[in-house]
């Protein structure tokens, strides 16, 4: 494993012992008198198996459950049905090493209007947004193959069809689709009430609901403590700082590793909504954090989940992506280190501390010594708003500056294996790269990728580089 694991108790206790509101030791991790009553974690994931679809000749176009599809034996799906409310969909299968060579389409019924949507394509090639081949996360036995997720908004009906590419190589006759195909219906739930910041405490007596501090579970405190001293324990956001204060904050937080005399090129820190702020259910992820040695590069992605969301719904989209990555795909946590919505708000991604070198699962082969920034949406045919480009520049100016990286420069990363570069090969890449620079993929979309030169220039200027 290329990362190293930080223990839950070590992070969630030692990091805050010096604070007025310190976390108790594990033996003291009990709810105090008058603490908020535990609540059920928000959100849910429903997984429905797909089945072979029969000949299309007798099916009626335009009628839910009777939609026409090509007469292909390698076709699976789910007839239109009413289901519990969900907002995000995706298709998963058993073998993570298998690609789904074909077409995945869904249509959904909106809760607000009762109208069925047209058929929507789901991006099938999502296997490059994963942990490196030799990472412990890949070998957990829980990882599944998965399409990209698609945000559809509050819906209560779904129909699915998956059609194999006629030219795809067969694993065994006559099937050409991966085994164990299932449609995942994700409900992000509501944000937790203020009295229970993370909305994830179990029932009384549930060891997963132990309280580390009033209103916080051990898992929630662990995640929040990783951002000390940049924000207080339980903070919903990390405030923006100007360049001078960002440098002073970084010097203070570095515990002697960085000095003001070094005059580091650190950009102004952007406002960052924490995991608590977007309502992460910390009980879903694996305990502890995995770190890499440094951050030499930033890979820019798009989530490929569609642009049909309002900025006020971005936290719900993130909760859905998180559930899809962990519950449906079997990852240890959300794959990206940061996310940016189309209004330019920056969100904390994978837990472990926004200023730390947290090992993500975003660019297969190049997760070590890098960070992944996902712009929520799809940007192959839609131009990213100016607020998005600015936010990515500001985030990278700050985070790359903490590790001495020049956004306009190049760096060498060692490939962990992928479809462009063999494992062990040293690859010269831009410090700010698109996902497609490290893996043959459309990500981050043609139009977002085209904004990266501007991002590099702006990021370096914000760092104060000549």
- For 387-396, what is each residue's pLDDT tens digit? 999 999 999 9
pLDDT computed for residue 172 by the predictor: 47
Confidence of residue 168 (pLDDT cuts 50, 70, 90): low
Q: Given pLDDT bands bounded at 50, 70 and 90, which one contains residue 420?
A: confident
Separation between Cα atoms, residue 367 and residue 125, nearest integer Å: 18
Best CA proximity match to 161, nearest among 269, 31, 294, 66: 66
In terms of Cβ atoms closer than 10 Å to its own Cβ (0-12, 13-18, 19+), residue 91 is buried
Give the SS3 label for residue 163.
Answer: strand
**CA distances for 116 relative to 80, 113, 119, 330, 398, angstroms:** 10, 9, 9, 30, 44
Residues 243-283: pLDDT tens digits? 999 999 888 887 767 766 556 899 999 999 999 999 999 99
CB contact at 8 A, 390 and 375: no
Are 202 and 195 contacting, i.e. CB atoms less than 8 angstroms apart? Answer: no
Question: What's this model's pTM, rounded to 2 decimal places?
Answer: 0.85
Q: How much of the chain is helix, strand and coil, in % rounded to 5?
A: 20, 25, 55
What pLDDT digit, counting tens, does each position of 330-358 carry?
999 999 999 999 999 999 999 999 999 99
């Amino acid at each position: 494993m290329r990362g190293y694991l930080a223990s839950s108790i070590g992070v969630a206790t030692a990091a805050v012992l010096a604070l007025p509101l310190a976390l108790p030791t594990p033996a003291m991790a009990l709810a105090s008198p008058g603490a908020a009553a535990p609540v059920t974690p928000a959100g849910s994931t429903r997984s429905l198996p797909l089945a072979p679809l029969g000949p299309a000749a007798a099916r009626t176009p335009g009628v839910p459950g009777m939609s026409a599809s090509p007469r292909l034996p390698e076709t699976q799906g789910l007839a239109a049905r009413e289901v519990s409310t969900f907002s995000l969909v995706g298709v998963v299968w058993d073998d993570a090493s298998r690609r789904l060579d074909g077409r995945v389409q869904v249509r959904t019924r909106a809760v607000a209007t009762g109208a069925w949507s047209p058929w929507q394509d789901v991006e099938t090639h999502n296997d490059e947004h994963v942990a490196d081949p030799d990472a412990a996360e890949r070998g957990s036995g829980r990882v599944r193959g998965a399409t990209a997720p698609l945000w559809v908004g509050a819906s209560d009906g779904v129909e699915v069809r998956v059609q194999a590419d006629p030219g795809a190589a067969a694993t065994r006759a006559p099937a050409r689709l991966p085994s164990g195909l299932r449609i995942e219906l994700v409900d992000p739930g509501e944000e937790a009430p203020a009295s229970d910041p993370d909305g994830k405490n179990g029932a009384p007596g549930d060891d997963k609901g132990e309280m580390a501090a009033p209103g916080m579970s051990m898992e929630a405190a662990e995640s929040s403590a990783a951002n000390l001293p940049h924000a207080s324990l339980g903070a919903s956001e990390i405030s923006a700082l100007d360049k001078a204060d960002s440098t002073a904050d970084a010097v203070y937080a570095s515990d002697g590793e960085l000095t003001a005399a070094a005059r580091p090129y650190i950009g102004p820190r952007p406002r960052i909504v924490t995991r608590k702020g977007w309502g992460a259910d910390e009980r879903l992820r694996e305990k502890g954090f995995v770190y890499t040695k440094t951050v030499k590069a930033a890979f820019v992605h798009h989530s490929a989940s569609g642009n049909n969301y309002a900025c006020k719904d971005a936290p719900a989209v993130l909760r859905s992506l998180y559930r899809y990555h962990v519950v449906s795909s079997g990852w240890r946590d959300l794959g990206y280190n940061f996310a940016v919505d189309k209004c330019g708000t920056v969100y904390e991604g994978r837990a472990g501390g926004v200023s730390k070198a947290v090992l993500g699962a975003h660019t297969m082969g190049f997760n070590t010594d890098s960070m992944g920034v996902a712009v929520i949406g799809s940007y192959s045919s839609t131009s990213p708003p100016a607020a998005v480009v600015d936010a990515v520049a500001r985030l990278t100016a700050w985070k790359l500056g903490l590790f001495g990286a020049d956004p306009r420069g190049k760096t060498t990363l060692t490939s962990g294996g992928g479809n462009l570069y063999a494992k062990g090969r040293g690859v010269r890449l831009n410090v700010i790269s698109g996902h497609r620079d490290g893996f043959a993929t459309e990500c981050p979309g043609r139009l977002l990728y085209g904004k990266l030169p501007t991002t590099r220039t702006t990021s370096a200027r914000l760092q104060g580089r000549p």
